[in-house]
Amino acid sequence: MKRLNQLFLGIVILANFAILPVSQAADPDVSESAAKAKAMFDKAIALIEKEGIFKALYDFNTNKEAYVDGSNHMMVVTEDGVVFAYSIDPGLIGVNLSTVKSEEPESAIEYSFQDALADMEKAGDKVTEIKWKWMNPVTNELQLKQAYIKRVDDPKADLRVTFYVGAAYFVPLEGK
């Protein structure tokens, strides 16, 4: 936690919000997941605005009923890529996603976390959309994970904090 005080803390909660191919856009299951992720996103933003990021981090990590719905989930990552909250798989807390590499070429992350961070920084406080392949912890299958990310500043935090807020869901890969 010593580094925490040295960082200009950027927190990312990835929200998967579809950039869907036509065949997937018409899929009612995908549309329902997107709607649930959006509702989860709105709930997370409201919690952060009311209680601050630190209370939200605690809730994302402990309140599975509110922040896990099937494979939809909340995720919080620092600007350096270190996971602070991952509601669907707490085992990822402390992992640096910017260094995650796949050993299988077909399961490689198509869009690096460094690219995502750069896009988030460029977007300022506008919503930015990203997508990449990631293992779905519910189905244990490689799937397309899509996200929209929005930067929100937390005036309640003792540290100077910039973070990005959203909720995640998965889209089956075409041909599977």
Give residue limits of the domains in the chain. 15-171
Specify the DSSP element, H or E, that contains 148: strand 141-153
pTM, two decimal places: 0.69
Class of domain 15-171: alpha beta
What is the per-residue pLDDT across 23-34, written as a single tens digit (0 to 9) for each?
344 566 778 887
Residue type (1 letter), 122? K
25 close to 90: Cβ distance less than 8 angstroms: no
What is the per-residue pLDDT across 86-130, written as a single tens digit (0 to 9) for each?
888 888 888 887 776 655 445 445 556 667 667 767 777 776 666
Residue 6: burial class (beta carbons within 10 Å; 0-12, 13-18, 19+) = exposed
Note the pLDDT of residue 101.
60
Measured CA to CA in angstroms, residue 121 lies from 70, 164, 165 at distances of 30, 10, 13
Note the pLDDT of residue 136.
78
pLDDT of residue 59 exceeding 70, the answer is yes
Note the pLDDT of residue 173.
65
68 close to 5: Cβ distance less than 8 angstroms: no
Looking at per-residue pLDDT, the higher value among 135 and 6 belongs to 135
The pair phi, psi for residue 44, each rounded to 5°, is: -65, -45
